[in-house]
Amino acid sequence: MTCSHHAVPFRMVGKNIWFGLSLRDKKKWDKCNKCKSNVPVIILRHKDVYCKECFLSGAAHKFKAFIGKNHLVKKNDFVLVCFRSGHSSVSLLHMLRSALDLQTPKKLKLRPIVIYIAKATCEPQFLKEIEDVVCSFNFPLYFISFNQYISNGQELDKVLFANFRQMLENYPQINSFKRTNNPTATQTLERIYEQQLLTEVAKHLNCSIVFVPDISLNVATNLLTSISLGRGAYLPLDTGICDTRDPQITIVRPLRHFDDKELAFYNVYNKLKLVVSPNEIKKFNNTSVQDLIDTFVSNLQLNYPATITTVVRTGDKLALDKTVLKSKACNLCKAPLLNNTSEELNSATATDFSRWISAQLQIFKKDESFNEFEIKQRELYCYACSKIIEFVEK
């Protein structure tokens, strides 16, 4: 059996768990790490072994502890849950339902609403599978087409459906999303617009919280990608526990300390149905910065899983100054602008100045170009988004 997103192999339960291990390791791991009595059935991080009961209880506790420790949800809050193809979304719904059904004072008291964003041509059978899975947890479900959202000028009333059949009737056959000849810029734009779509849907449905099924692999990939694309200042928003760039909506990543192997076993042991769209299976063609880093991090996860944990926990320690959040927002990504108001020259300004001074223009044209750059790039967009705008306008 393999993980759905990145085809990372892992050994299944039973006797195969010991395949390739030395006799010393077999004796060392003959008992569950937690209860010290049952026979283990799963190895995590190449060193931790658990029996089925301890593994499932540990996963449920880690999820509930994350929600409670960070005080993310108030009583009876509406929470928008983003459903995606793969293990993580199904696990998230099951963990939510299990926490809601507890007969103890520690039960979660929130009201989930599930949203599925269709980014590619979807077969009715696949959408029916999503509907069946979500309905099995007794959560309300909405469908929305990413293409429709873009082509209708972000008018949610026209593109948000409680029935996937209605969405298919209105689904455009062509992709109306404006793509560039730069795959990196295109993927960045898609992610930005998807986040804005989730925020707008949450406001439309009176939700104050959005849960996204990002796991540790996604967080590590996004962290390295953000640094590579000049978004290092916004790592707390892009990869942290919460994204609070919108004053009304908080985007939360409750599975950020889980990996795909954990969630795959969680689904197997709970006999949960996996929903995977053939159109959404990642193909690593390495034509963009995101794809290159995704491949790199996936290989790290396979051979050095502790490295991913280190990257994620490093991201946990980063934070934005609260005064920065009150600054004017970037017109594209909505992150607060971090304009340099001091006499010092930061790296972004130095890079822009070098590019400007080396341009083959007359002096007066340089002055005019620089002034336009100051007005448009500095006042309207953050550094990373200003580069995307350059590609879009070409």
Q: Under DSSP, is residue 380 helix (H, G, I), strand (E, B) or coil?
A: helix
Do residues 233 and 319 touch, judged by C-beta distance below 8 A? no
Do residues 241 and 256 touch, judged by C-beta distance below 8 A? yes
Cα distance between the two ends of the chain: 45
346 belongs to a structural domain:
yes
CA distances from 62 to 54, 56, 262, 295, 348 (A): 12, 10, 12, 28, 39
Task: Report whether pLDDT(267) > 90.
Answer: yes
pLDDT at residue 253 in the model: 95
The 8-class DSSP code of residue 18 comes to G
Count Cα neighbours of 50 within 13 Å in the Cβ-side half-sphere: 16
Question: In whole numbers, what is the pLDDT of the chain averaged over residues?
Answer: 79
Task: Report whether pLDDT(303) > 60.
Answer: yes
150 and 261 inside one domain: yes
Count Cα neighbours of 347 within 13 Å in the Cβ-side half-sphere: 6
pLDDT in tens, 93-140: 999 999 998 877 778 888 999 999 988 767 788 889 999 999 999 999
Which of 320, 337, 354 represents a domain boundary (last residue)?
A: 320
pLDDT in tens, 135-174: 999 999 999 988 888 877 667 877 888 888 888 877 654 4
259 and 303 inside one domain: yes
37 belongs to a structural domain:
no
210 belongs to a structural domain:
yes
8 belongs to a structural domain:
no
- The total of structural domains in the chain comes to 2
Dmax (CA) for the chain in angstroms is 80
Q: Which residue has the higher pLDDT, 217 or 387?
A: 217
pLDDT at residue 114 in the model: 96
Strands 141-145 and 160-161: antiparallel
Report the b/e string of 114-147 with b at 16+ CB within 10 A: bbbbbbeebeeebbebbbebbeebebebbbbbbb
Count Cα neighbours of 302 within 13 Å in the Cβ-side half-sphere: 14
Length reported for the chain: 394
Tell me how far apart the alpha carbons of residues 55 and 265 are, in angstroms, rounded to a whole number: 9
Tell me how far apart the alpha carbons of residues 80 and 36 are, in angstroms, rounded to a whole number: 39
Q: Give φ, ψ of 373 to 5 degrees.
A: -60, -45
Q: Under DSSP, is residue 212 helix (H, G, I), strand (E, B) or coil?
A: coil
285 and 368 inside one domain: no
308 and 261 inside one domain: yes
Do residues 79 and 112 touch, judged by C-beta distance below 8 A? yes
Which of 276, 298, 320 represents a domain boundary (last residue)?
A: 320
42 belongs to a structural domain:
no
Q: Where in the sequence is the domain holding 246, given as residue range(s)?
A: 62-320
pLDDT at residue 79 in the model: 95
Query: Residue 356 corresponds to which tokens in the numbers above?
Result: 């400007």
**CATH code at position 280:** 3.40.50.620
Task: Report whether pLDDT(209) > 80.
Answer: yes
- Please tell me which of 72-81, 213-222, 345-354 the model is most confident about, judged by mean pLDDT: 213-222
Query: Residue 286 corresponds to which tokens in the numbers above?
Result: 């390495």
Q: DSSP string of 223-276?
A: HHHHHHTT-GGGHHHHHSSEE--SSS-EEE-TTTT--HHHHHHHHHHTTPPP--
Nearest to 120 by CA among 162, 176, 197, 182: 176
23 belongs to a structural domain:
no
Tell me how far apart the alpha carbons of residues 234 and 225 are, in angstroms, rounded to a whole number: 12
pLDDT at residue 13 in the model: 41
Neighbours of 286 (CB within 10 A): 14
316 and 333 inside one domain: no
Task: Report whether pLDDT(234) > 80.
Answer: yes
171 belongs to a structural domain:
yes
Do residues 19 and 10 touch, judged by C-beta distance below 8 A? no
CB proximity list for 145: less than 8 A, separation 6 or greater: 117, 118, 159, 167, 170, 171, 172
pLDDT at residue 354 in the model: 54
Mean pLDDT on 303-317: 84
Which of 320, 349, 366 represents a domain boundary (last residue)?
A: 320
292 and 365 inside one domain: no
Mean pLDDT on 12-28: 48
Tokens 């996860």 sit on residue: 301
Band of the pLDDT at 370, cuts 50, 70, 90? low
Neighbours of 106 (CB within 10 A): 8
Mean pLDDT on 321-340: 78
Task: Report whether pLDDT(220) > 70.
Answer: yes
Query: Residue 93 corresponds to which tokens in the numbers above?
Result: 């719904």
Tokens 């791991």 sit on residue: 29
168 and 155 inside one domain: yes
145 belongs to a structural domain:
yes
281 and 195 inside one domain: yes
pLDDT at residue 349 in the model: 56
pLDDT at residue 6 in the model: 39
Tell me how far apart the alpha carbons of residues 295 and 332 are, in angstroms, rounded to a whole number: 27
pLDDT at residue 386 in the model: 85
pLDDT at residue 149 in the model: 82
- Lay out the sheet containing 250-252: strands in order across: 160-161, 141-145, 110-118, 77-83, 209-211, 250-252, 242-243
pLDDT at residue 201 in the model: 94
% pLDDT > 90, the chain: 29
Band of the pLDDT at 320, cuts 50, 70, 90? confident
213 and 151 inside one domain: yes
pLDDT at residue 82 in the model: 96
pLDDT at residue 213 in the model: 95
286 and 335 inside one domain: no
121 and 172 inside one domain: yes
Band of the pLDDT at 36, cuts 50, 70, 90? confident
251 and 346 inside one domain: no
pLDDT at residue 20 in the model: 42
Enumerate the H helices of the chain as residue ranges: 23-28, 52-69, 87-100, 124-136, 146-151, 156-159, 164-169, 183-204, 216-228, 235-239, 260-269, 289-303, 305-316, 347-357, 363-373, 379-380, 383-393
Mean pLDDT on 294-322: 84
